[in-house]
Amino acid sequence: MFGWLWNGMARVSAFTVHEPPHSGGSRLEQAERLLFVADGFSWRAALFSPFYLIMRGEWLALLIYAAAAAVLSGILALAGAREDWYVWTVILLNVVMGFEASEIKRWSLGRSGWREVAAVLGRGQEEAERLFFDAWLPTAADGPREQIHAAALPLRTTAPRVESAVHRLSERLRSKFALKS
């Protein structure tokens, strides 16, 4: 009944495709250097936030995490909060990290000169890669392809749709959970 919860291949996932700086060479050589970053919640980042950032080498993000924890702890101390509020604050901070882990990865790649070239959907990373490369790599019969089909749309066309969908969801949640006076 709930098999789709445990089977990551059963649901569609979104990935962004990143190209390293100075990616010369043939299209096939470029393809070998592309990086796919999954969208979505990261349980590892949520459960082990500081260690996750250390293992990934995200030093600036770790500094921001520590500063946010210190500021929030300071605010709680000034407010005279009980000790259990500190635990809830760390839990909240870790949940935010779980949601933002992929965005932190994209941000770090962008700072290093990597460029987002597309967004692609698939039932797991293997299918997303296959769909992207089917559209991106040339075939022997038809030469280089200039367009990427609907499964791997360029970012400039998918970003506004994603933003509007998130905005609509946000408005629905605000209206549903609005505090009534």
Question: pLDDT tens digits, residue range 104-117?
Answer: 999 999 998 999 98
For residues 49-76, average pLDDT: 93
pLDDT of the residue at 125 = 86
The strand pairing partners of 36, in sequence order, are: 17
For residues 55-82, average pLDDT: 92
25: left (phi over 0), alpha (psi -120 to 50) or beta: left
d(CA 119, CA 121): 7
Question: Is 141 or 79 the better-scoring residue by pLDDT?
Answer: 79
pLDDT of the residue at 22 = 81
Q: Answer yes or no: pTM beyond 0.75.
A: no
pLDDT above 90 covers a percentage of the chain that reads: 35
10-14, 75-79, 123-127, 129-133: least confidently modelled range: 10-14
Angle (nearest 5°) at CA 170 between 169 and 175:
100
Of 6-10, 27-31, 80-84, give the range with the top mean pLDDT: 80-84
